[in-house]
Structure 1
Amino acid sequence: MARLTEDAEGVYVIAVTPFTDAGGLDLASIDRMVDFYEGAGATGLTVLGQLGEAPKLTAAESRTVVERVLKRLDGRLPVVVGVSAPGLAPMRELSDAVMGEGAAGVMVAPPWTLRTDDQVYAFYRSVGEALGDTPFVLQDYPLTTNVQIAAAAIERIVRDVSTCVMLKHEDWPGLAKIAALRRASETGGMRRISILCGNGGLFLPEEMARGADGAMTGFGFPEMMVGVVNAHAKGEVERAQDIFDAYLPLARYEQQQGIGLAVRKYVLAKRGVIASAHLRKPGAALSPADIADVERLLERQTRRLAEIGA
Structure 2
Amino acid sequence: MLLTSSAAGVYVICPTPFTIDGRVDPASTDQMVEAFLKAGATGLTILGIMGEAPKLAADESLAFAKQVIATVAGRVPVIVGVSAAGFAGMSALSRKVMGAGAAGVMIAPPSALRTDDQIVSYYADAVEAIGPDVPFVIQDYPLVTNVVMTPKVILRIIEENPSCVMLKHEDWPGLDKITTLRRASADGQARRVSILTGNGGLFLPFEMERGADGAMTGYAYPEMLVGVVNLIKAGKRKEAHDLFDRHLPLVRYETQPNLGLAVRKYVLKRRGIIASDTLRKPGPKLSPETVADIDWLMERIERS
Indicate the SS of the match to 1:19.
coil
Q: Deviations over 1:221-250 (max 9, x none)?
A: 001110000111111111111110011000
| Corresponding position: 1:196 with 2:167 | no
The aligned amino acid for 2:265 is K
Letter of the 2:179 counterpart: A
The runs of 4+ residues in structure 1 deviating greater than 6 Å are none
Other-structure match for 1:148: 148
Q: Which amino acid aligns with 1:215?
A: A
Supply the RMSD in Å over aligned alpha carbons: 0.7
Question: How far apart are the structure 2 equivalents of 1:131 and 1:64?
Answer: 19
CA distance in 1, matches of 2:5, 2:89: 25
Q: Please tell me whether residue 96 in structure 1 is matched to residue 77 in structure 2.
A: no
User: Pairwise mapping of residues 119-134 of structure 1 onto structure 2 (< 5 A)?
Assistant: 119-132=118-131, 133-134=133-134
Residue matched to 1:139: 139
One-letter identity of the residue aligned with 2:212: A
1:97-137 deviations in Å (ceiling 9; x for gaps): 00000000000000000001111111111112222210000
Deviation at 1:142, TM superposition (A): 0.2
Alignment of 1:11-30 (within 5 A): 11-30=10-29
Give the whole-Å Cα distance in 1 for the aligned partners of 2:189 and 2:119.
19
* Partner of residue 301, structure 2: 301
Q: Structure 1 CA distance, aligned partners of 2:21 and 2:128?
A: 41
Q: Which moved more, 1:100-109 or 1:226-235?
A: 226-235
Q: Deviation per CA, 1:62-118: give whole Å up to 9, x if none.
A: 011101101111111100000001111111110000000000000000000000111
Query: Aligned partners of 2:88 and 2:187: how far apart in 1?
Result: 37
Q: TM-score, normalised by structure 1?
A: 0.97
Correspondence for 2:243 = 243
SS of the residue 1:16 aligns to = coil
Q: Which amino acid aligns with 2:255?
A: Q
Corresponding residue of 1:115: 114
Equivalents in 2 of 1:182, 1:60: separation in Å? 39
What is the DSSP-based 3-state SS (H/G/I as helix, E as strand, rest coil) of the residue aligned with 2:60?
Answer: helix
Mapping of 1:159-170 within 5 angstroms? Answer: 159-170=159-170
Within 5 A, what are the aligned runs for 1:1-310?
A: 2-132=1-131, 133-304=133-304
Query: Percent identity between the aligned chains?
Result: 60
Once residues 64 and 287 of structure 2 are traced to their aligned partners in structure 1, the CA distance between those partners, rounded to angstroms, is 29
SS in 1 for 2:138: strand
TM-score (norm 2): 0.99
CA distance in 2, matches of 1:256, 1:161: 34
The answer to which of 30-39 and 123-132 deviates more is 123-132
Q: Counterpart of 1:242 in 2: which secondary structure?
A: helix
Segments of structure 2 that go 5 or more residues without pairing to the other structure are none
* CA shift for structure 1 position 303: 2.7
User: Secondary structure of 2:105's partner?
Assistant: strand
Unaligned runs of 5+ in 1: 305-310
Output the CA distance in 1 between the equivalents of 2:186 and 2:257.
36
Question: SS of the counterpart of 2:273?
Answer: coil
Tell me the distance in 1 between the aligned counterparts of 2:104 and 2:55: 22
Q: Deviations over 1:159-186 (max 9, x none)?
A: 1100010000000000010000001101
State how far apart, in whole Å, the 2-side matches of 1:268 and 1:158 are: 35
Letter in 1 for 2:28: S
- Aligned equivalents of 2:206 and 2:196: distance in 1? 13
CA distance in 2 between counterparts of 1:303 and 1:74 reads 35
**Alignment partners' CA distance in 2, 1:15 and 1:51:** 8
- Alignment deviations for residues 190-244 of structure 1 (CA, whole Å, 9 cap, x no partner): 1000000000000000000000000000011001110000111111111111110
Aligned length: 303
Secondary structure of 2:102 counterpart? coil
What letter is aligned with 2:246?
A
